[in-house]
A = this chain, B = another copy of it.
Amino acid sequence: MSATRSARERVHDEVTGEILAVAKAHLAREGAAGLSLRSIARELEIAPSALYRYFDSRDALLSALIIGAYGSLADEAERSSQAAYAGGGDTMARWVAVPLTMRAWALAHPHEWSLIFGSPVPGYQAPQETIAPYIRLAQALVRPIVDAHQDGTLRPAPVRSGADEPLAAALQPVTEGLLPGLPTNAVAQSMLAFAALIGAISLELFGHFHNTVLAPELLFAETVAQLAASTGVCPSRGDPPG
């Protein structure tokens, strides 16, 4: 009964997986706009209408792809974070792990990166299931910052002297959910780091470094190192003595 019912279910899930795999391949070839149920059905040698047993509509399939992309990125980020913590490296090694993984994932899955951080598909509302993996990614990224704060070793570059209540209020959800107890300028520095990473990866991926930055991986490594210094997770290596 329950065993046989799940037999059918298992087949259903398997086919759903095959459809998603083909859809991912098409996404990589044509981009989100070119994703078509008919072409997926063609590749699977199936009638287009059969797909409606698995997805309610094209939008539902796209949603599944988006959610999958978020999940995949978050998984990788968590995996590499845990490896860095388990590996016994220093703070810099821990800080560097997630950004490098993000870039590697982006290069391996450019269209899925676009789905997450590129221009939104017009007239399409991002599904709610997207929030949880987004938070997992962010938490993996900022964990060294939170740790440094708890250790009392966090040294963010001070910029605002004080009297920035409005900014503190604007960042309240981030502070509360992600960086509890950190001073506002440190939260802002963390947001800057996130924006810089997303920007650096997107610029490279979208072709803006062509003929301009000849070795993006070197610039990215330097960028991550500089962000370690400005967020205050690691002391800057080249500080003048004195």
Q: Which residues of A contact B (CB under 8 A)?
A: 30-34, 111, 114, 117-123, 126, 157-162, 164, 166-167, 169-174, 185, 188-189, 191-192, 194-200, 202-203, 206-208, 211-216, 218-219, 222-223, 225-227, 229-230, 236-240
In the complex, A120→B173 CA distance in Å?
A: 32
10 closest A-B pairs (Cβ-Cβ)?
A199-B199, A118-B119, A170-B215, A31-B122, A195-B199, A114-B119, A158-B238, A196-B196, A195-B200, A33-B33
Copies of chain A in the complex? 2
Chain B residues in 8 Å Cβ range of A207: 120, 126
Chain B residues in 8 Å Cβ range of A122: 30-31, 33-34, 111
In the complex, A195→B185 CA distance in Å?
A: 20
Residue of B nearest to A173 (CB): B212
Chain B residues in 8 Å Cβ range of A240: 158
- Beta-carbon contact of B169 and A214 below 8 Å: yes
Give the Cβ gap from A116 to chain B, nearest Cβ, in Å.
Answer: 9
Give the Cβ gap from A178 to chain B, nearest Cβ, in Å.
Answer: 9
Chain B residues in 8 Å Cβ range of A34: 122
Residue of B nearest to A114 (CB): B119
- Beta-carbon contact of A160 and B238 below 8 Å: yes
Chain B residues in 8 Å Cβ range of A222: 159-160, 164, 167, 185, 188
Chain B residues in 8 Å Cβ range of A216: 170
Chain B residues in 8 Å Cβ range of A117: 202-203, 206, 208
Residue of B nearest to A188 (CB): B222
- Beta-carbon contact of B206 and A202 below 8 Å: no
Our pick among B159, B161, B194, B215 for the contact of A166 (Cβ within 8 Å) is: B215
In the complex, A237→B157 CA distance in Å?
A: 10
- 9 pairs, A vs B, C-beta closer than 8 Å: A119-B119, A120-B206, A126-B207, A160-B238, A161-B237, A164-B222, A197-B199, A199-B199, A199-B200
In the complex, A114→B118 CA distance in Å?
A: 8
Chain B residues in 8 Å Cβ range of A160: 222, 225, 237-238
Chain B residues in 8 Å Cβ range of A200: 191-192, 195, 199
